[in-house]
Amino acid sequence: MSKKTPDADQPDHVVIPPKANAGKLDYTYIIGGILLWGLIGWGLDFLLKTSWIVFAVLPIGAACGYFLARHYQRHGRPDDDQKQ
């Protein structure tokens, strides 16, 4: 016999972070933005043979991560209505 749970049709490998981790998730977006834009700036520095672009885009990455975190906090994530 197999155990039947109320959410038997939901896959077991999907992990939905609880809303209690919202503050930690904000930092993740900001750090992710810094890393992504840092890599973009590093690539542009390499292609254009400069050394200042990476330092110019790091604050842009932090700002983009901040605003993305605020957007998700205000409007919610697409998976907020699912149960764990």
How far apart, in whole angstroms, are the C-alpha atoms of residue 41 and residue 26? 22
pLDDT for residue 23:
66
Taking only the tens place, the pLDDT of each residue in 5-51 is: 555 666 667 565 556 566 677 889 999 999 999 999 999 999 999 99
| Residue count (the chain) | 84
CA 7 to chain centre: 27
pLDDT for residue 34:
95
| CA–CA distances in Å: residue 61 to residues 39, 53, 54, 66 | 10, 12, 10, 9
